Amino acid sequence: EAAVTQSPRNKVAVTGGKVTLSCNQTNNHNNMYWYRQDTGHGLRLIHYSYGAGSTEKGDIPDGYKASRPSQENFSLILELATPSQTSVYFCASGGGAQAETLYFGSGTRLTVL
């Protein structure tokens, strides 16, 4: 089965600090996504990518940057973390023009103090 690995699993950061969340997929999928999940909001799309070197804004991109240096890796960067960014973050690969299934990682629980 398709594999998506996220790191770290848990992260505690201070307000104003820089946070980088990493995601690696071995599925050779072109598309990758970053979501955040909060109670009552379901999954909200932050950034996505169509391939190496590409990043696109999702529905809630403010305060986040993304980087796709290779087909396998997709990072989410919080330059100046704020407590409102405390959440669970999920990376996924798949989807695209063939309406394919998304495969998710296990998530990163981020707490910003």
Partner 1 sequence: QQKVQQSPESLSVPEGGMASFNCTSSDRNFQYFWWYRQHSGEGPKALMSIFSDGDKKEGRFTAHLNKASLHVSLHIRDSQPSDSALYFCAATGDSNYQLIWGSGTKLIIKP
Inter-residue contact 76 to 63 (CB < 8 Å): no
If one asks whether residue 107 binds partner 1 (CB under 8 A), the answer comes out as yes
User: Which residues sit opposite 18 in a β-bridge?
Assistant: none
Among 32, 64, 90, 93, binds partner 1 (CB under 8 A): 90
Phi and psi angles of residue 83, each rounded to the nearest 5 degrees, phi first = -55, -30
| Interface stretch with partner 1, choices 13-21, 66-74, 77-85, 102-110 (CB under 8 A) | 102-110
What string marks each residue from 23 to 62 as x (binds partner 1 by CB under 8 A) or -?
A: -----------------xxxxxx--x---------x----
- Reported residue count of the chain is 113
| Interface stretch with partner 1, choices 10-18, 69-77, 79-87, 91-99 (CB under 8 A) | 91-99
Q: Which of 92, 89, 6 is nearest to 48 (CA)?
A: 92
